[in-house]
Amino acid sequence: MTSTSEFSALAPYGWDDAWADAFTPYEAEGLLPGRVIRVDRGQCDVVTAGGVLRADTAFVTPHDPMRVVCTGDWVAVEPGGNPRYVRTYLPRRTAFVRSTSSKRSEGQILAVNVDHAVVAISLAVELDLGRVERFLALAWESGAQPVVVLTKADLVPDPVTLAHLVQDVETTAPGVPVVTVSALHGDGLDVLVALVGSGTSVLLGQSGAGKSTLANALVGEDVMDVQAARDVDGKGRHTTTTRNLLPLPSGGVLIDTPGLRGVGLFDAEGGVGQVFSEIEELAGRCRFHDCAHETEPGCAVRLALESGELPVRRLESYRKLMRENQWIVAKTDARLRSEIKKDWKRKGAQGKAAMEAKRGRWT
């Protein structure tokens, strides 16, 4: 039986009956359940019913970047020991993954067990809609509900300009709530509090977008460091260097993350489709099932382009991200294939050695 009440102190961190069920076999082994609130060079802080414990993550497959312990993980941790080890993490409900670089098609896990992926976009710099679409594709793909937060609204004093910017983002993000906030003046925070008031939310975005400032405003305390002043967002020093999980006073849990220069897609075809849902809807109305929206008759996508209903930029961005995704997937497959081949070769060599040993060559 699971003793939910024994671990009820974990409820503010998102502990529920399903986590309790998943933990049952580890409870029988005398391990403690907890949630990772920060990971730092092979060590992590785990909040347990009895308080925060420092634990080593080396036990949990350290060589596969997709399987390392991540902030937001629910883990089974040893009750004592020096070092004390995290034995395993419970199966993840959602995972936000990007590809680490364009050269190597490896996934990097940025946040797990997240319900709301809050993409922070600064209004202090020129809007890059392509970047918004990229973040949203990974957010949808992760299984979390995306939210866009336009920060530093106080720096756009003209309401007409602000309305245009919000509209641009809204047409770029169908099905995604777009919230405008100013942490400086407190504007829009109530709307955000309502959105992140249940479950786990992660703040993602470029360095300087104002994520930690927002985290402090939501927590109601200066728990995260913020750079006093900076010239341009997205440049220079990263103020936040670890991912930190913070319980919110009004309910819900927030993960603040270090700024990201870029997010490469990682097997995110479904996510890309959701970001461009209006294009996929239009494509469904094309006369030909496999319409490329080039010169085919009865093309609903081209019709929407001509009427101005669909911006050219959107279609181009959709094509670009789809191509990039296919390329990443193909590259990953190639890498997997070569790994499998290497494995066969190794097994083949072992098999040969075993055969030769059997024949008594080395005896």
Which residues line the annotated binding site for GTP?
Answer: 151-154, 205-213
Annotated binding site for Zn(2+): 286, 291, 293, 299
Under rule CB under 6 A, residue 238 binds ligand GTP: yes
Under rule CB under 6 A, residue 271 binds ligand GTP: no
Site pattern 266..295 for Zn ion (x: CB under 5 A): --------------------x----x-x--
Question: Is the Cβ of residue 48 or residue 240 nearer to Mg ion in the bound state?
Answer: 240
Under rule CB under 5 A, residue 239 binds Mg ion: yes
Question: Is the Cβ of residue 180 or residue 317 nearer to ligand GTP in the bound state?
Answer: 180
Under rule CB under 6 A, residue 229 binds ligand GTP: yes
Hey, which residues between 189 and 228 contact ligand GTP (CB under 6 A)? Answer: 205, 207-213, 226-227
Contact 199, 253 (CB under 8 A): yes
At position 224, the amino acid (one-letter code) is M
CB of 239 to Mg ion, least distance (A): 5
Under rule CB under 5 A, residue 299 binds Zn ion: yes
User: 245: Cβ–Cβ under 8 A, 6 or more apart, which residues?
Assistant: 13, 35, 36, 37, 38, 47, 71, 72, 200, 253, 254, 255
User: What sections of the chain are H helices per DSSP?
Assistant: 17-28, 129-142, 159-172, 189-196, 211-219, 269-275, 277-283, 300-307, 312-358
Question: Is the Cβ of residue 116 or residue 302 nearer to Zn ion in the bound state?
Answer: 302
Question: Is the Cβ of residue 113 or residue 240 nearer to ligand GTP in the bound state?
Answer: 240
Rounded Cα gap, residues 329 and 265, in angstroms: 9
Stretch that binds Zn ion, among 138-146, 151-159, 297-305, 338-346 (CB under 5 A): 297-305
Rounded Cα gap, residues 76 and 79, in angstroms: 9
Query: By three-state DSSP, how is residue 172 classified?
Result: helix
Contact 72, 81 (CB under 8 A): no
Under rule CB under 6 A, residue 235 binds ligand GTP: no
Identify what 299 binds: Zn ion, ligand GTP, Mg ion, none; CB under 5 to 8 Å per kind.
Zn ion
* The residue to which tokens 């955000």 are assigned: 192
Question: Is the Cβ of residue 109 or residue 203 nearer to Mg ion in the bound state?
Answer: 203
Question: Is the Cβ of residue 269 or residue 280 nearer to Zn ion in the bound state?
Answer: 280
Under rule CB under 5 A, residue 240 binds Mg ion: yes
Please give the C-alpha separations between residue 294 and each of 279, 298, 315, in angstroms, as whole numbers.
14, 11, 12
88, 99, 145, 151: which one contacts ligand GTP (CB under 6 A)?
151
Query: By three-state DSSP, how is residue 187 classified?
Result: strand
CB of 269 to Zn ion, least distance (A): 19
Alpha carbon of residue 107 to chain centroid: 11
CB of 209 to ligand GTP, least distance (A): 4
